[in-house]
Amino acid sequence: MTTMQTAAPVRPVRRSRRLTRGQAVGWTFSLLLIAVLVYPVGTMVWRALAPQGTLDLEGVAGTFTGYGLWNATLNTVLVAVPAALIATLIGATFAWLNERTDAAFGPLGRLLPILSMLFPTFALAFGWLVVGDRTSGFLLGVLRLIVSPFGIEVAALPIGIASFAGLIFLYSITLAPFVYVQCQAAFRQLDPSLEEMSRIAGRGRLSTFFTVSLPSIRPAVTMSLFVTLLLGVGMYSIPAVIGTPGRITVLSVYIANLINGQYPPLIQEATVIGLCLMILILAVWLMLRASLNQGRYASVGGRGIRPNRIAMGRWRGVLRAAMWLYIVFAVLLPLVGLVVVSFEKYWTPDLVQGGFSWENLLAFTKVRGGGIALIGNTLWISVVSATVIVIVAGLVAIGSTGRSPRLYAVVASVATKVPFAIPTIVIAVGVLATFGFPPFNLSGTYWILLIAYFFSIPIASIAAEAAARQVGPELVEAARVSGASPLRSILRVNLPLMLSGLAGAWVITFAHVMGDLNMIPILSSATNRVAGTALIDILGGGGSIIAAAQISLIIGLVTLAVVVVVTAIAQPRFTGRGRRSRDAAAS
């Protein structure tokens, strides 16, 4: 009934109007996007659900009786939900401190909170295992150094990183940067007058933060919470390296075990679980979208005001110390662990008698294909992938948000969310089957990796939508009233004002592709090797884990350098291009 009522007014419009050029371009773009994103995944999902050509309901039902599935689901909820909440609180608070208060770090210091996002999660997980293992971690070694002069022997730490608390802690500090990037971009774009009025009206700093600042950037906070939940559910390296020793199996590890722990691999079961997750995720996203469409939050207005930073008084030092403490735990400790291991002959908590060696210092150069060359390949692929993804996600976000979202853009927006929960191996096999052989014949080329990485679009798409929502409609409308074409409005108004948010999406996507280990096993071969290929070789028993740690460290440093440049380019709207775009709209 509802559908008919909704559909009825559309029909005469279709009959009476031909497609405009813009609509034709929009639909072509959307259909192409659907073809690229949905076809490879769709065929693989269908093949998994109907291995003999007809739907195998018995097999599908059997998925839900799998050993440990519900335990893994419960563990996922117990870890991912609190971690997402903690990460959102940390990320949003740090963004506010850095953008709105005098506790802010300097321009480069603002990047510090995202450091942990720049290193492959495998490196952080292994780094933390090296540091925080109950029986062999460096923290135990340090404790022994301290207490042994008093004749006290310590066999193990009371709690290690391989525990529920350790997992939530690691998830939280790893996810917080994703919130920080989005909220920082939103704060940068936001007119600070509301916060200033709140302060003038006598509200305290904390009260202003919770009742004015956070609600003002509701799209960014909500979508960040959503993204961290998604990432938490999908995270693999940390629960595999840390959760398994703690006997905590989460869904991502469960799915990986269905594929790698059985022969032949249980692709059907893995796909069914992924499909259920995808449906759940799409449902939550649609609800959030509806809520944000009706909601009240601040957006970029027609006036540009440089914010007055809130003075934090005596709390300034404490808050800065808290941010430093976060950086120490999120990045420095695990990285120091990896560096120390690089100088040891082999990992040992006995820092004095373990013996230091220069032997392993250049281990990364000895991997197949040369570590430097492989990292170079990873770098350009990541730059191209992130750029293409963010352009597409940005255009889709502009079209699918605002007062009159275009149907083709909304359809495209849904398509960009499809790949999220599908197991990566299913996507990789789908991409190989679709593009690897004639007529495309891209197997063994870098093109096929670029296509596969395009499936990293869901997070960028969500981030771009948050950025698009933060741009108020009046500037775009002003541009259109002034006679600007839709394309000109997008190029001169939307995109420049979304630049900070899109830069955040770019950084997230870039870091994700730089650290990817999931697409590699199926799609990378001897002719299209990247840094992840070397890591997979090593994790498969083909080399020194020290080399893996070093490659991870270098990937992190390269990612950091690129992010510094991108952040410098993506100026906030108060200066440079942002101001010009506002002026363009106003004129």
Partner 1 sequence: MIAGLALAIAGCSSQPDAPAPSEPSSADGAWDAELIEQAKQEGAFVIYGNAAAEQGEGLTEQFKRDLGLEGIQVEYNRFTSAELLQRFQTEAASGHILADFILNAYPSQFTAPENADYFKTLTPELLPELETYQDIAPENVTETGIRYSVTPFAVQYNTDLLQGDDVPTKWEDFTDPKFKGQIILNDPRTNPAYNVELHYIAEELGDDWLRAIGDLDYQLTASGVTGIQQLAAGGAMVMFPTPNQAQTLPEGAPVGFIVPEGVTFVAESWFGLTEDAAHPAVAQLYANWLLSKQSREFACAQKQWNMSMNVDGIPGAEECPVRTEFQSITDTEEVAKVASYQQHIWDLLKLQ
Residues of the shown chain interacting with partner 1 in the complex, contacts defined by CB under 8 A:
67-68, 71, 126, 129-130, 133, 135-136, 240-241, 244-245, 247, 249, 253, 256-257, 259-265, 267, 345-350, 357, 359-360, 368, 425, 429, 432-433, 436-438, 443-444, 521-522, 525-527, 536-546
**Cβ-based nearer residue to partner 1, 97 or 530:** 530
CB of 192 to partner 1, least distance (A): 47
What are the angstrom distances between the C-alpha of 296 and each of 179, 212, 470, 487? 20, 12, 11, 28
Separation between Cα atoms, residue 213 and residue 96, nearest integer Å: 8
Separation between Cα atoms, residue 444 and residue 528, nearest integer Å: 6
CB of 265 to partner 1, least distance (A): 4
**Cβ-based nearer residue to partner 1, 368 or 480:** 368
**Cβ-based nearer residue to partner 1, 388 or 536:** 536
**Cβ-based nearer residue to partner 1, 227 or 272:** 272
What are the angstrom distances between the C-alpha of 9 and each of 13, 15, 353? 7, 11, 80
Separation between Cα atoms, residue 224 and residue 466, nearest integer Å: 9
User: Comparing C-alpha atoms, which of 129, 114, 79, 91 is closest to residue 234?
Assistant: 79
**Cβ-based nearer residue to partner 1, 207 or 525:** 525
**Cβ-based nearer residue to partner 1, 67 or 150:** 67
**Cβ-based nearer residue to partner 1, 96 or 122:** 122
CB of 176 to partner 1, least distance (A): 25
Separation between Cα atoms, residue 559 and residue 574, nearest integer Å: 27
CB of 424 to partner 1, least distance (A): 11
DSSP 241: I
CB of 446 to partner 1, least distance (A): 15
- Provide the token pair at 257: 């075990």
What are the angstrom distances between the C-alpha of 26 and each of 31, 235, 395, 425, 439? 9, 34, 10, 31, 26
361-365 long-range contacts (CB < 8 A, ≥24 apart) are: 363/544, 363/546, 363/547, 363/550, 364/547, 364/550, 364/551, 364/554
CB of 323 to partner 1, least distance (A): 31
CB of 68 to partner 1, least distance (A): 6
CB of 445 to partner 1, least distance (A): 12
Find out whether the peptide bond into 239 is cis, omega within 30 degrees of 0: no
Half-sphere exposure of 126 (CA within 13 A, CB side): 22
Instruction: Identify whether the C-beta of residue 268 lies closer than 8 Å to the C-beta of residue 49.
Output: yes
What are the angstrom distances between the C-alpha of 426 and each of 43, 275, 279? 10, 11, 16
- Provide the token pair at 522: 């199926």
What are the angstrom distances between the C-alpha of 384 and each of 117, 288, 370, 387, 561? 19, 30, 22, 5, 16
**Cβ-based nearer residue to partner 1, 219 or 349:** 349
CB of 220 to partner 1, least distance (A): 35
**Cβ-based nearer residue to partner 1, 39 or 437:** 437
Beta partners for 300? 471
